[in-house]
Amino acid sequence: MKRILLLILIFESVYLGVHAQKGLAIGAAFDEFAVKKNVTEVVMGAGRLKEYNLSLFHSLEIKNPSAADKQRVETLIRSDVELAMPYEESTSHKLYELPRRKGMHYYIFYRCTSGSLILIYIEGKATLKQIESHFLKKKN
């Protein structure tokens, strides 16, 4: 029984990963980098995110990315965000809200430091303010 449940979870993760960024250039980043040794990929579907009003969270963290890795991811992001509304851009990170479709919100978060590159794709009905209130702690 445990094996069947594990197989179902694996197939669900693969399915979500394949169909998550359908039509977006960053989908190629998830496909290309997820198989590398210095990369951690996290995929969570609606079941785990229901209380946050989200349907998908897909992230990549590349440890010690090469200049070519950085350039590739940034090129893909630029392609996707041409129609996006920049929500927040700084030298250390970028956050974009893509155009809404069918009542769903779509976000791309990107941060690159000397030690890691993080790319996150989020979709769901939650607004950015709701996401921030759930996940970002304010420092006093």
How do residues 119-130 score in pLDDT, each as one tens digit?
Answer: 999 999 999 888
Q: What is the pLDDT of residue 22?
A: 64
- pLDDT at position 21 is 62
> How big is the CA angle at 131 (ends 103 and 77), to the nearest 5 degrees?
75
* pLDDT given for residue 60 in this prediction: 95
Q: Which range, of 34-38, 126-130, 132-136, averages the lowest pLDDT?
A: 132-136
pLDDT in tens, 80-129: 888 777 667 777 788 888 888 888 999 999 999 889 999 999 999 999 88
pLDDT at 43: 93
What is the CA 24 to chain-centroid distance, rounded?
12
> Under 8 Å CB-to-CB from 38, ≥6 apart: which residues?
62, 63, 64, 65
The pLDDT mean for the chain works out to 81
pLDDT of residue 137: 56
- Ramachandran region, residue 67 (left: φ > 0; alpha: ψ -120 to 50; beta: rest): alpha
Indicate the DSSP class of residue 95. E
The reported pLDDT for the residue numbered 81 is 85
Amino acid at 92: S
